[in-house]
């Protein structure tokens, strides 16, 4: 009887041991399967073509949004017209802005980032007319350096002018020359290129530092006429174009247009800004 009891006990322990072993194996298999499942899910997440497609679509949408934003910033918004028929330019900070006797800058406009270019001037004292917008100032430095390499000594004479300063100059010219004569060479306040900070009058010692049409006949004037475009500048009021520009020929007045391609095309085709941008009234 005792012996039978012991055998029964051993048999029970054996069954229990087998059961525990099976349970442990099942748990291990389940854990292994769980790990494999996690690993597979991770791989699917990282290689899911749907997710890549979504990311790609988002990137394309961002690119489209940015493009549309740039287009909105650059598109030609309807320009206002004053009571006296003047067009108020809507992009005064553009390097391609066109101001003339029919197109005026917004009231109170002053260009930002004005600076004094590192070039020789025809005067020593500090004066706002030494300033240009930064982009134009850097380009002017390159132009002067190019002239120097070719043995030409240029001198800057007059750059930025505020609305108030142009008003003083225009009124003085009207008083001393008469309105009809003054309008041939002097801009009314608000319509001067000098107020944009993109124009500079240039002369030379050979021209006695004067701003006269005879500057064209000097070595410096000839070089400027033939090379200004290489640095993004144009002769703003070229010879024979006064009916378009409204001003007499000024071989000393250069205007920065920003894009050397535009400057070169205008030079090669002898175009004014009005002609190039199709803004002839």
pLDDT tens readout for residues 99-153: 999 999 998 899 999 999 999 999 999 999 999 999 999 999 999 999 999 999 9
User: Where residue 153 sits, what CATH number does that domain have?
Assistant: 3.30.1380.10
Asked if residue 169 belongs to a domain, the reply is yes
Write phi, then psi, for 77 (nearest 5 degrees): -75, 150
| Sign of the torsion angle spanned by Cα atoms 8, 9, 14, 15 | positive
Asked if residue 122 belongs to a domain, the reply is yes
Residue with token string 């001067």 = 192
Residue with token string 């008083």 = 175
Q: What is the pLDDT confidence band of residue 235, given thresholds at 50, 70 and 90?
A: very high
pLDDT, tens digit, 9 for 90 and up, residues 185-224 = 889 999 999 999 999 999 999 999 999 999 999 999 999 9
Pairing of strands 132-133, 114-115: antiparallel
Asked if residue 12 belongs to a domain, the reply is no
Active-site residue numbers?
250
pLDDT for 215 equals 96
Domain that includes residue 187, residue range: 80-276
Asked if residue 53 belongs to a domain, the reply is no
Q: What is the pLDDT confidence band of residue 280, given thresholds at 50, 70 and 90?
A: confident
Q: What is the pLDDT confidence band of residue 10, given thresholds at 50, 70 and 90?
A: low
Length of the chain: 281
DSSP structural state of residue 121 = B
pLDDT for 6 equals 59
User: Distance between CA 194 and CA 182 in Å, rounded?
Assistant: 16
Asked if residue 64 belongs to a domain, the reply is no
CA distances from 280 to 90, 102, 154 (A): 17, 10, 32
Asked if residue 31 belongs to a domain, the reply is no
pLDDT for 134 equals 98
pLDDT, tens digit, 9 for 90 and up, residues 248-275 = 999 999 999 999 999 999 999 999 999 9
Asked if residue 56 belongs to a domain, the reply is no
Residues 6+ apart with CB under 8 A from 153: 120, 147, 204, 205, 220
Are the C-beta atoms of residues 218 and 206 closer than 8 Å to each other?
Answer: yes
Number of domains in the chain: 1
Asked if residue 233 belongs to a domain, the reply is yes
């Amino acid at each position: 009887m005792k012996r039978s009891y012991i055998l029964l006990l051993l048999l029970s322990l054996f069954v229990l041991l087998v059961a525990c072993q099976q349970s442990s194996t099942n748990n291990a298999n389940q854990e292994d399967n769980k790990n494999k499942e996690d690993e597979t899910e991770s791989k699917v997440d990282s290689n899911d073509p749907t997710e890549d497609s979504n990311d790609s679509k988002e990137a394309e949408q961002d690119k489209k949004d940015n493009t549309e934003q740039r287009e909105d910033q650059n598109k030609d918004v309807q320009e206002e017209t004053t009571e006296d028929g003047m067009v108020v330019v809507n992009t005064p900070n553009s390097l391609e802005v066109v101001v003339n006797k029919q197109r005026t800058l917004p009231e109170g406009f002053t260009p930002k980032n004005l600076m004094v270019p590192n070039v020789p001037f025809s005067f020593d004292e500090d004066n706002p007319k030494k300033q240009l917008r930064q982009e134009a100032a850097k380009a002017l430095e390159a132009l002067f350096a190019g002239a120097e390499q070719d043995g030409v000594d240029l001198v800057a004479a007059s750059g930025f002018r505020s609305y108030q300063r142009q008003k003083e100059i225009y009124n003085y010219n009207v008083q001393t020359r008469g309105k009809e004569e003054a309008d041939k060479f002097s801009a009314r306040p608000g319509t001067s290129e000098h107020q944009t900070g993109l124009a500079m009058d240039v002369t030379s010692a050979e021209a006695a530092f004067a701003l006269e049409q005879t500057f064209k006949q000097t070595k410096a004037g000839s070089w400027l006429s033939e090379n200004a475009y290489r640095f993004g500048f144009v002769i703003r009021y070229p010879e024979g174009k006064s009916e378009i520009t409204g001003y007499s020929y000024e071989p000393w007045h250069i205007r920065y247009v920003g894009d050397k391609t535009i400057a070169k095309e205008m030079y090669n085709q002898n175009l004014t800004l009005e002609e190039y941008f199709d803004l002839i009234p």
